[in-house]
A = this chain, B = another copy of it.
């Protein structure tokens, strides 16, 4: 065990820091969930990142990456969040679908989809949930009927993140009409501008539209778009969900930067609040720190050949509950101003805390509710009997 960075890792940090200082937009980009303009600004940023070969440093060099390991990925994320660089509009692609393509895709599929994903030409939406299939994802009803070299997709997807503006979607479809539950599903990629796709944005609690419903009415896509074997979609999807809940999607750096901002907020207002708030600030910092240490430990283990198991569920619970506690502490410091929108003339330093708080409430819900995660921990990690 050695918790010091190597000289190479330190040099890598210096490189990305310098590049970000030179390239991160001075003013924050408008939200990619609020308007087409914001979405396209983020697409342009993805292209800039890719041009600098900073899009996904863990990807192989032939797809625009640097072939680096997970420790460097964590360093990249630390610098990325530290610099306040834009959120990744293509996270469904680069963090979820990308790794799945590398694992399950044919060489032709990888060549077709990965470069366009890397440079932001194609931004991806996920399409997991259906109205009756939320936590119970296996209850999926959308179907894909094979017709010659094509699949014809029909069904109703919901909570499809980025789908309001994205170019492509991926989701599970029932390819065997007689199948039930986890069997007979396939993972299929489809263009969101294909004939038969209708998108219905879902306004969120904060008024933005990070999600859409997708109504698919006989949408024809080539069988080439199926990722993995027909009927094996569940296994492929679980691998992807493992990544989602696990390492990539919730960088420790994100919470460490939030904790840093919280510390600064507290310092400005420490004489207005009592010792419970002070303790909550310190706890937020410790929790973000513990999360970072845990992810470094996992990354070290994976690099040494280990696999991610139920700790994806453990991580999910920890970061989602930590995030809510952190945001609530910020609102406690803001006091009576906490209800203000940042546009209020007297908003002072309310910044984006309120919005972050509302967003944090989605943490224990998406990518498998925390209730489901606790079931997984109890049954798979602790070996308790199924109900």
Q: Name A's B-contacting residues (CB within 8 A).
A: 274-276, 278-279
Contacts and interface: CB of A to CB of B under 8 A. Distances in A.
A260 B274 CA distance: 22
Nearest to A278: B275
9 contacts: A274-B275, A274-B278, A274-B279, A275-B275, A275-B276, A275-B278, A275-B279, A276-B276, A276-B279
Nearest to A276: B279
Give me the 6 closest cross-chain CB pairs, A-B, nearest first: A275-B275, A276-B279, A274-B275, A276-B276, A275-B276, A275-B278
Contacts of A279: 274-276
Given A274-B279, A275-B275, 7 more contacts: A274-B275, A274-B278, A275-B276, A275-B278, A275-B279, A276-B276, A276-B279
A276 B278 CA distance: 9
Contacts of A276: 275-276, 279
A163 B275 CA distance: 47
A279 B273 CA distance: 12
Nearest to A275: B275
Q: How many subunits of this chain does the assembly comprise?
A: 2
Contacts of A275: 274-276, 278-279
A279 B278 CA distance: 12
A282 to B, nearest CB: 10
A271 to B, nearest CB: 13
A295 to B, nearest CB: 28
Nearest to A283: B276
A322 B275 CA distance: 21
A39 to B, nearest CB: 42
A274 B275 CA distance: 7
A96 B278 CA distance: 46
A198 B278 CA distance: 57
A170 B278 CA distance: 53
A140 B275 CA distance: 51
A291 to B, nearest CB: 22
Contacts of A274: 275, 278-279
A73 B362 CA distance: 48
Nearest to A280: B276
Nearest to A273: B275
Contacts of A278: 274-275
A329 to B, nearest CB: 13
A276 B276 CA distance: 5
A13 B117 CA distance: 79
A269 B274 CA distance: 18
Nearest to A274: B275
A286 to B, nearest CB: 14
A278 B278 CA distance: 13
A191 B354 CA distance: 66
A270 to B, nearest CB: 11
A269 to B, nearest CB: 15
A278 B279 CA distance: 12
A278 B274 CA distance: 10
A279 B277 CA distance: 10
A186 to B, nearest CB: 34
A34 B275 CA distance: 42
A274 B281 CA distance: 14
Nearest to A387: B387
A276 to B, nearest CB: 5
A174 to B, nearest CB: 29
Most buried by B among A276, A278, A279: A276
A188 B275 CA distance: 55
A276 B280 CA distance: 9
A371 to B, nearest CB: 14
A275 B274 CA distance: 7
